[in-house]
Amino acid sequence: MTSRTALITGGTSGIGLATAALLHRGGYRVAVTGSTPESVGEARRKLPDDVLVRHADARSLAGTDRIVAEVRDRFGSLDLLFLNAGIMRARPVGEYDEATFDELIAVNFKGQFFTLQKALPLLNDGASVVFTVGIGATRGIVAGSAAAASRGALLALVPSLALELAPRRIRVNAVSPGAIATGLLAKLGVPAEAQEQMAARVPFGRLGTAEEVAEVVAFLGSPGAAYVTGENLVVGGGAGLSA
């Protein structure tokens, strides 16, 4: 009996990296992609040697073809496709320029759509597809309208894809992290005081962890979620709830 297999885009840092480590511990054969040489190098140091770690630009369809071909040669097929790659460009609506807008759409939406399209022949019947969306797509994010919309477009895909792929029992779901303590906050220049304020607004009184989101992704890829499709699971510690 062969082990299960997973491809994680945006898998060299944060939530993607935590998911790769969790799945590997659970017996998966795992491939991850990252967009920068730095994150790829870091993932190679942190992940076991048998994890396939590759550089990939989500905007390049030729690059996606290359990654899918390598995964096919290495694994043969896929049981879980975690489409986690994405970028955040925070700025008021009046300050977005066309190049930034196009970049957000190309990476966060177009790249994920065509990665699924190209990986579809590798997906086993009964496989799982999980998109990372983010809580901002449904509950708002200050100075992040275009970024949230580019991720939110994935939510429009989920129910239609779930119906389209149901005859093969391929499940399509989304996970929407809330305020999660990853390196992204520092990269965006969010100071410690602001992170504390974010945590105070969460009913659980803290930021979430990448590992907690990884557990939800692992569940969606497991037989325990065999009857779950077309859904968006929010991992936000109750963010958005009112007392």
Per-residue model confidence as pLDDT tens digits over 117-164: 999 999 999 999 999 998 888 887 777 899 999 999 999 999 999 999
| Residue-range domain boundaries for the chain | 3-233
pLDDT at 243 over 60: no
Q: Please tell me the predicted confidence (pLDDT) of residue 1.
A: 37
Note the Cα 207 to chain centre separation in Å. Answer: 18
pLDDT at 96 over 70: yes
pLDDT at 42 over 90: yes
| Residue of 107, 111, 57, 58 lying closest to 87 (CA atoms) | 107
Residue of higher predicted confidence among 181 and 211: 211
pLDDT-based confidence at residue 83 (cuts at 50, 70, 90): very high
pTM value is 0.94
Q: Please tell me the predicted confidence (pLDDT) of residue 166.
A: 98
Query: Which homologous superfamily is 3-233 in?
Result: NAD(P)-binding Rossmann-like Domain (3.40.50.720)
Degrees to nearest 5, angle at CA 114 with 113 and 116: 70
Q: Are strands 5-9 and 29-34 parallel, antiparallel or unpaired?
A: parallel
Q: Please tell me the predicted confidence (pLDDT) of residue 139.
A: 81
Question: Looking at residues 82-109, what average pLDDT do you find?
Answer: 94
Q: Please tell me the predicted confidence (pLDDT) of residue 184.
A: 66
Residue of higher predicted confidence among 179 and 194: 179
